Each structure stands twice: as structure tokens, then as C-alpha cells.
Amino acid sequence: MEEDGRSATTRLMKLRFITGASAVALSCALAVVYAFSPTEYSFYPRCLIYATTHWRCPGCGSTRALHALLHLDLRSALHYNALFTLLAPVVLGWLGFCCYRVMRYDRLPQLTIPRELTVCTVTVVLLFTIARNTLFSF
């Protein structure tokens, strides 16, 4: 019986450690993007889809958009990648909620994604990709 208690405590400590380490790693990554502009430094990874097809994928421009968002330049962020700019606060809020749940209640929130939301998200991403490569090409 005592070993079950130790096992549960160890599991909770691991979950909290992983959550804390992930938060620190994300903060460090954001600090790097804040300090080093993707337009000036070449150590950021390049998009393989754009390099091979010259079509901008849904993620193209996300690093530049994140840099602009961190500097509170919403206009530039929308120019680089509007979809990322609109979804970044939602994702950041969800990650914050997950961290809170782990640290406060020792468990991750249960995530059930409805089929309709999945279909809607895929449709929006596809339409965004088509629009940015055909309608708004510069």
C-alpha cells in the first residue's frame, strides 16, 4: 500500500516537473524570438514546403509574426501570418490553463475535440492556404 502512495507521489512530481520545465523552455524560446529578429538572423529553420514548391504553407511567416506580436506590432504580425496571429492568443491561453490545472489540481484537463471543430479547423486552414497563395500573392 505504501508503494502505491510513493508511486502516485512520484508520478505527480514528474508531471509537475515536466510542466515547469516546458514552461521554462517555452519562455526561453520566446525570449530568443523576441531578441533576435527572424528577418535579420538566419539560424531559424526554413520552410521545406516553400523551399521546394514556392507555395506558402499555413505556418510560413509564423516566426516573423511571433516576433512582431512580442513587440506588440499587430499590423506586421497580421501581414506575416494572419492565421497564426489570430490563433496564438488562444493557444497561449490553453497552455496557461493546462499549466494551472497541473500545478493546482495535479492533473491535465481532459481534451475532447468534437468532429465538427476538427472539420472546421481543417477547412479554415485549407482556405487560408489557398487564399494566401492565390488571392493575396505579392
pLDDT per position as a tens digit, 65-101 = 999 999 999 999 999 999 999 999 999 999 999 889 8
Q: The whole model's pTM is what?
A: 0.81
Identify whether the C-beta of residue 65 lies closer than 8 Å to the C-beta of residue 86.
no
What does the pLDDT read at residue 1?
47
Specify the higher pLDDT residue, 96 or 107: 96
pLDDT at 4 over 70: no
Binned at pLDDT 50, 70 and 90, residue 10 comes out as: confident
What average pLDDT does the segment 93-110 reach? Answer: 87
Q: Is 108 in a helix, a strand, or coil?
A: coil
What is the four-CA torsion angle of 34, 36, 40, 43, rounded to 10 degrees?
A: -120
- Does pLDDT of 137 surpass 70? no
pLDDT band at 136 (very low <50, low <70, confident <90, very high): low
Helix H or strand E segment including 117 = helix 115-134
| Average pLDDT, rounded, for the chain | 88
